[in-house]
Structure 1
């Protein structure tokens, strides 16, 4: 089975997190979405000290990891619940190498870093200190840099086009943070 984009998720509404406003409420959208060097058209980040920018233009999360969490928490984890822009299937994001490059539909991206979850994730999940538990698993997803802008759409094929030698995985980098 080839890797695919399950959904493209943009901010639905800004919500008040435990300490500040957040754009974590991402939900799937229909059709193709333009992707520029700073992310998806129609998306937003609130606290740009920690979110967004060229090295964190997109946040990708694997449906398989969301399913693992659904089992762990005994609840539904729909696409976008963790605040991801791209929900994937058939792509091991936890095992992705920092510096790895993927084509997704009409774009080229590079894996830059693991997500460092904050208290807004705990607030979104309504589970005290969940962001610590999330980080400890290494199943945190990856921030992506856009190397070639274009368009993406649910159903687009994802292909790994470069894997650097000797790089750490997202999971290892997350657990050492």
Structure 2
């Protein structure tokens, strides 16, 4: 992907619409990840972004956004960060997925959109989208419905976890609440545990 005048990076953020794709434990067949340090893997196999946010950003920044602007694999409706929870399990087409963490947006979004304010605003609003692991593999079609199979009993909203991650670095109770979700992505769990250990040993 080229950005600014003559700079170029290797990225998997630019997605193309498809009628159907097989979803396996590592993600959608044919969908590559350029930087495995920060993207992909079993805990982050699927990136989901709420469609409603597109209208918000288009109004705020005054220009239309292309499909899959945020590099998401699946664009959804009625599944905002405030309404879904870490550990929630959904059926999507033939597959079953589970929310593992909020999406931690990176600078590639800024490069793709040529909008230096977007990354900051995503963090401020918590409109980041979220990541999922695949519990059952299967085909997902463009018109597949997403159905909540098993709501997580802890009811820790993705939006709340965003608040703790980005602005609650000293919120011991908040970090413990997020960490109480055993299904949390391993890397995020380790980050929060590290922050927490430094605080409780002060």
Equivalent position of 1:112 in the other structure:
100
SS in 2 for 1:61: strand
Cα contact 1:117–1:132 (8 A) shared by 2: no
Deviation of 1:16 (Å)? 4.9
Which has more strand, going by share of residues?
1
Equivalent position of 1:48 in the other structure:
36
Kindly indicate whether residue 45 of structure 2 is the aligned counterpart of residue 57 of structure 1.
yes
Cα contact 1:94–1:139 (8 A) shared by 2: no
Cα contact 1:103–1:161 (8 A) shared by 2: yes
Cα contact 1:94–1:140 (8 A) shared by 2: no
Give the 3 Å change call, closer, same or farther, for CA 71–89 of structure 1 in structure 2. Answer: same
Task: Give the Cα–Cα distance (whole angstroms) in 1 for the partners of residues 131 and 28 of structure 2.
Answer: 13
SS in 2 for 1:165: coil
Residues 95-110 of structure 1 aligned to structure 2 (within 5 Å): 95-110=83-98
Kindly indicate whether residue 23 of structure 2 is the aligned counterpart of residue 35 of structure 1.
yes
Kindly indicate whether residue 101 of structure 2 is the aligned counterpart of residue 136 of structure 1.
no
Deviates more, 1:16-25 or 1:75-84: 16-25
Rg: which structure is higher? 2
Cα contact 2:98–2:135 (8 A) shared by 1: yes
* TM-score under structure 2 length normalisation: 0.75
* TM-score under structure 1 length normalisation: 0.85
**Unmatched tracts of structure 2, length 5 or more:** 166-202
SS in 2 for 1:60: strand
Equivalent position of 1:66 in the other structure:
54
SS in 2 for 1:21: coil
Deviation of 1:163 (Å)? 1.1
Any runs of at least 4 consecutive aligned residues in structure 1 with deviations exceeding 4 A, and if so which?
A: 16-20
Deviation of 1:80 (Å)? 0.7
Cα contact 1:63–1:79 (8 A) shared by 2: no
Aligned residues: 162
Which has more helix, going by share of residues?
2
Q: CA RMSD in A?
A: 1.7
Structure 2 counterpart of 1:154, from 142, 147, 150: 142
Tell me: higher relative CO, structure 1 or 2? Use CA pairs within 8 A at least 6 residues apart: 1
Cα contact 2:81–2:126 (8 A) shared by 1: no
Structure 2 counterpart of 1:23, from 6, 12, 21: 12
Task: Give the Cα–Cα distance (whole angstroms) in 1 for the partners of residues 118 and 161 of structure 2.
Answer: 19
**Unmatched tracts of structure 1, length 5 or more:** 1-14
